[in-house]
A = this chain, B = another copy of it.
Amino acid sequence: MVGRLIQTAKSAYRYPLILKQLWHTPLLQSPAQEIVYRDRSRLTYRQLGERIARLASALSRLGVEPGDTVGVLDWDSNRFLEAFFAIPMMGAVLQTVNVRLSPEQVAYTIDHAGASTLLVNDEFVGLLEGLRPQLTKVKTLVVMSDRPRPETGSLPFAGEYESLLAEASSDYDFPDFDEDTQATTFYTTGTTGLPKGVYYSHRQLVLHSLCELAFFGMASQQGRFSRDDVYMPITPMFHVHGWGFPWAATLAGVKQVYPGRYDPAMLVKLIKSEGVTFTHGVPTILQMLLNAAAAAKTDLAGLKMVIGGSALPKTLAKQALAAGIDIFAGYGMSETGPIAAVAHVMSRDLSGDHDREVEFRTKAGMAAPLVDLRIVDEDMNDVPHDGKSSGEIVLRSPWLTQGYYNNPEGSEELWAGGYLHTNDIAVVSPGGYVHITDRLKDVIKTGGEWVSSLQIEDLITQCPGVEEAAVIGVKDDRWGERPLALVVKEPAETNGVTDTIVKSHLKTFADKGVISRYGIPEKIIFIDSIPKTSVGKINKKELRKRYGDV
């Protein structure tokens, strides 16, 4: 079908959706707004803009060219934010290296992405020294540090970040170029196999930033983001671009605070002293924040926090609400930019009753604008939005990874049928709330019935004395599979809770019809801690390895 085409990529009037365009309005409207790094430095937007130009000049002098990949190994800092802009705005590719992976995986991801330059926080010099022989493609190293004299070990650094910037020109003419130019890459660790590289174009990141602002801006009364907010990430910037918020916050021109390595006391101190109002993180981080705030007798009321990475447990959500935190879940993956949905609660459902509200706040929630979110059966037919029928979430949106880098098979599987497959199972209510019931790979089929491991986990954590729980399926000759629960007790309750208590707790829900009686595990094993992935998710791969034959 052909209508009238009125613009081509070559048109003089073409406005490419590239990251430099995010800077027009903040420089006009918020030139003196602050960007704070720990208790160490404060920059204005104007200064940060200048440093971005200096970084590009410096990298250019070090030989970085359009199309090259530049890896960054750092905690959350203004330097990382500078790299978020300068590297892609030069036409190069920013690799946000996940420093929480195993050393072998760190080396694998840098090598697989083909990074030729690395910006390295000196905390990782030790790590990198051991990996240097494997990093055959890396030609240039730049060291970054909070100390006057950075640790450099035996590594041949081409320069120190601040000195390079000081010497570099602040005149760098960032050009217009094709919006489909690759801007970033990073690696995701799935449940199986090697880390997989996802990648994003300028166009995708600009649209993600814009939709994030539109989505969080138009929120009813809860969980909104505005020009008045003060933003701080507590999701590492190497993890799906800090959920894209560093770009969205810059576009909005708000005050930004970067906390470095996550030290609970420092986080609480910064929230208070800098007036942070908007953040995001995994459930473990929220628990840590609540504990640290209690220890420091600091009030976190008024803080808005999106929770992602794994499901937001209801008990934890209630604890946060009781502390005055506007807490709500988000949903997305490394492959989805990440924002797919967020538990914005419609005004009609904001009762002020915490018990009722957590039902909404802990869901995946509302799909973001422009997201074509479908819940489908195995043949890609839509299932009804009745709050009961479940299916796999498949997506189209303007900001999904096109595939996995150098992995055609994985890419084809990801995009089977023209939609991105999330492997997440969900129901949608008639009001449009999306509720994840399970991971496709975590669903347990027992005696012909499907049991949701997520739901059982959530119910077990509601049992007094339980801190955390994970449920996996184990082979069973009679039923095919049976659920097995791994449970961590609360420290103060080591002698209280037993497997009998947990089972009778679950039985009350089975009696009410909330779960099937097949969902009650025969076996409950108490363990000291639940293994997590590098981004804080329950590591079911590891659990299956350890307990799959129990």
Closest to A175 in B: B1
Interface residue? A408 (CB, 8 A) = no
Q: Complex Cα distance A10/B207, Å?
A: 19
Contacts of A373 in B (CB 8 A): 24, 28
Given contacts A2-B177, A3-B66, A213-B369, contact A400 B182 (CB under 8 A): no
Q: Complex Cα distance A266/B396, Å?
A: 42
Interface string of A248-282 (1 = CB under 8 A from B): 00011000000000000000000000000000000
Task: Tell whether, in the assembled complex, residue A1 and residue B91 are in contact, meaning their CB atoms are under 8 Å apart.
Answer: yes
Given contacts A5-B182, A199-B6, contact A346 B210 (CB under 8 A): no
Task: Tell whether, in the assembled complex, residue B178 and residue A5 are in contact, meaning their CB atoms are under 8 Å apart.
Answer: yes
Closest to A69 in B: B4
Task: Tell whether, in the assembled complex, residue B228 and residue A221 are in contact, meaning their CB atoms are under 8 Å apart.
Answer: yes
Interface residue? A522 (CB, 8 A) = no
Residue in B22, B24, B67, B228 whose beta carbon sits within 8 Å of that of A367 in the complex: B24
Query: How many copies of this chain does one complex carry?
Result: 2
Task: Tell whether, in the assembled complex, residue B13 and residue A402 are in contact, meaning their CB atoms are under 8 Å apart.
Answer: yes
Q: Complex Cα distance A234/B193, Å?
A: 58
Q: Complex Cα distance A199/B207, Å?
A: 23
Q: Complex Cα distance A366/B397, Å?
A: 29
Closest to A212 in B: B214
Contacts of A213 in B (CB 8 A): 214, 217-218, 369
Task: Tell whether, in the assembled complex, residue B398 and residue A92 are in contact, meaning their CB atoms are under 8 Å apart.
Answer: no
Task: Tell whether, in the assembled complex, residue B432 and residue A67 are in contact, meaning their CB atoms are under 8 Å apart.
Answer: no
Contacts of A403 in B (CB 8 A): 13
Interface size class of A (residues with CB under 8 A): 35 or more
- Distance of A181 from chain B, by nearest CB (Å): 4
Closest to A221 in B: B228
Q: Complex Cα distance A29/B363, Å?
A: 14
Contacts of A315 in B (CB 8 A): none
Interface residue? A21 (CB, 8 A) = yes
Interface residue? A550 (CB, 8 A) = no
- Distance of A381 from chain B, by nearest CB (Å): 16
Interface residue? A129 (CB, 8 A) = no
Interface string of A31-58 (1 = CB under 8 A from B): 1100000000000000000000000000
Interface string of A294-319 (1 = CB under 8 A from B): 00000000000000000000000000
Task: Tell whether, in the assembled complex, residue A210 and residue B29 are in contact, meaning their CB atoms are under 8 Å apart.
Answer: no
- Distance of A303 from chain B, by nearest CB (Å): 18
Task: Tell whether, in the assembled complex, residue A6 and residue B398 are in contact, meaning their CB atoms are under 8 Å apart.
Answer: no
Contacts of A31 in B (CB 8 A): 430, 432
Task: Tell whether, in the assembled complex, residue A11 and residue B368 are in contact, meaning their CB atoms are under 8 Å apart.
Answer: no
Closest to A32 in B: B430
Contacts of A214 in B (CB 8 A): 210-211, 213-214, 217
Task: Tell whether, in the assembled complex, residue B21 and residue A370 are in contact, meaning their CB atoms are under 8 Å apart.
Answer: yes
Task: Tell whether, in the assembled complex, residue B227 and residue A219 are in contact, meaning their CB atoms are under 8 Å apart.
Answer: yes
Given contacts A369-B25, A371-B25, contact A398 B4 (CB under 8 A): no
Task: Tell whether, in the assembled complex, residue A181 and residue B226 are in contact, meaning their CB atoms are under 8 Å apart.
Answer: no
Contacts of A372 in B (CB 8 A): 21, 24
Task: Tell whether, in the assembled complex, residue B251 and residue A4 are in contact, meaning their CB atoms are under 8 Å apart.
Answer: no
Interface string of A362-398 (1 = CB under 8 A from B): 0000111111110000000000010000000000111
Interface residue? A492 (CB, 8 A) = no
Task: Tell whether, in the assembled complex, residue B385 and residue A180 are in contact, meaning their CB atoms are under 8 Å apart.
Answer: no
- Distance of A159 from chain B, by nearest CB (Å): 24
Residue in B2, B180, B207, B226 whose beta carbon sits within 8 Å of that of A220 in the complex: B226
Contacts of A199 in B (CB 8 A): 6
Task: Tell whether, in the assembled complex, residue B432 and residue A28 are in contact, meaning their CB atoms are under 8 Å apart.
Answer: yes
Interface residue? A431 (CB, 8 A) = yes
Residue in B2, B29, B402 whose beta carbon sits within 8 Å of that of A432 in the complex: B29
Interface residue? A426 (CB, 8 A) = no
Task: Tell whether, in the assembled complex, residue A218 and residue B210 are in contact, meaning their CB atoms are under 8 Å apart.
Answer: no
Q: Complex Cα distance A400/B13, Å?
A: 8
Q: Complex Cα distance A92/B207, Å?
A: 26
Interface residue? A73 (CB, 8 A) = no
Closest to A428 in B: B28
Task: Tell whether, in the assembled complex, residue B402 and residue A11 are in contact, meaning their CB atoms are under 8 Å apart.
Answer: yes
Residue in B3, B182, B206 whose beta carbon sits within 8 Å of that of A4 in the complex: B182
Contacts of A8 in B (CB 8 A): 180
A22-B370, A219-B226, A251-B369 are known; give 19 further A-B pairs, CB within 8 A: A2-B177, A2-B181, A3-B91, A3-B93, A3-B177, A4-B181, A8-B180, A13-B403, A17-B398, A24-B372, A28-B373, A28-B428, A29-B431, A30-B432, A32-B430, A206-B370, A210-B214, A213-B369, A217-B224
Interface CB pairs A-B, < 8 A, 9: A1-B66, A3-B182, A4-B181, A6-B181, A6-B201, A29-B366, A29-B367, A210-B211, A210-B370
